[in-house]
Amino acid sequence: MGTIRKAAIVLNGFIHDFATGYWLSDLIAIYLLHGYRAGSPPLAATLSGIERFFFWNAVAAALTIFATGGMRSFTYVDNFYGPEAEATRRKMLIIKHVLLLAVVGSGSYWAYCTAFS
């Protein structure tokens, strides 16, 4: 495997992990801003706009997570751990991704409802 390809794989994984943390940080910011908005009616309009900014950043982060995750699926080495472990790893990856899709979906829905309320 070439050096450039290895670097691209590492960079893709870094972007994937960074976008995941960024998505979660956006949700935390929305949660905090929403609390401040409720406690400061004079600032509500400004804080609402900032909440929406973070919501759209969360959408971009989620799209980045899906795109880089899709690219990641092509970079795994088959049978690296042996056939039995590889079968278990694949099952666990499927379960993990179903759960994470539910988390990202419900978290993004919550962020939308909160930022646009």
Residue 88 pLDDT more than 70?
A: yes
CA angle 108, 109, 113 (to 5 degrees): 115
- Taking 80 as the threshold, does the pLDDT of residue 80 lie above it? no
- Helix ranges (DSSP H) in 1-117: 3-39, 44-72, 83-115
Q: In 3D, which of 31, 56, 54, 33 has the Cα closest to residue 45? A: 33
**CA angle, residues 56, 43, 117, in degrees to nearest 5:** 45
Q: Please write the tens of the pLDDT for every residue from 21-69.
A: 999 999 999 999 999 998 999 999 999 999 999 999 999 999 999 999 8
Phi and psi (nearest 5°) for 116? Answer: -110, 20
Domain limits, the chain: 3-115
pLDDT given at position 78: 64
**6 has pLDDT over 80:** yes
Is residue 1 pLDDT above 70, yes or no? no
Mean pLDDT is lowest, of 1-15, 39-53, 57-71, 79-93, for: 79-93
For residue 9, pLDDT over 80 is answered with yes
Lowest mean pLDDT among 10-14, 55-59, 62-66, 82-86: 82-86
How is residue 104 written in tokens? 């990202």
Q: pLDDT value at position 89?
A: 81
Query: pTM for the full model?
Result: 0.84
